[in-house]
């Protein structure tokens, strides 16, 4: 797994107060927009998007977006990442 994929895990401490937390891994789909910003989305979470001028900035912003999305979405089922395919159409 590449460096970008390793950064996709949400860094959560093992124990916070009396609650035990677990590490969760999320895949971030990254695109570059027309203004040169990196835009990320976590398909597993509803409305979980962010952006950054660099990939590192995007990933930090995505950690915040994921944390906020998890507050609103209690029951998030893990999904299996299959891959990304490029499809060429003549339209």
List the alpha helices (DSSP H) in 14-87: 55-72
The pLDDT of residue 15? 47
State the architecture of 3-72 in CATH terms: 2-Layer Sandwich (3.30)
The pLDDT of residue 5? 42
The pLDDT of residue 24? 84
Query: Tokens 């660099």 identify what position?
Result: 54
With vertex at residue 39, the alpha carbon angle to CA 34 and CA 40, rounded to the nearest 5 degrees, is 155
- Show the tokens assigned to 12: 């959560």
Q: Where are the domains of the chain?
A: 3-72
Under-70 pLDDT residues of the chain: 1-21
- By DSSP bridging, strand 24-25 and strand 19-20 are unpaired
The pLDDT of residue 38? 98
The pLDDT of residue 42? 94
pTM for this entry: 0.69
The pLDDT of residue 81? 83
Question: Dihedral of the CA atoms 39, 32, 12, 44 (nearest 10)?
Answer: 60
């Amino acid at each position: 797994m590449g460096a970008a994929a390793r950064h996709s895990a949400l860094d959560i401490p093992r124990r916070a107060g009396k609650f035990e937390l677990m590490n969760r891994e999320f895949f971030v789909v990254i695109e570059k927009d027309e203004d040169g910003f990196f835009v990320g989305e976590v398909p597993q979470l509803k409305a979980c998007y962010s952006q950054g001028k660099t990939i590192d900035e995007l990933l930090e912003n995505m950690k915040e977006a994921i944390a906020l999305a998890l507050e609103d979405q209690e029951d998030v089922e893990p999904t299996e990442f299959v891959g990304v395919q490029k499809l060429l159409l003549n339209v």
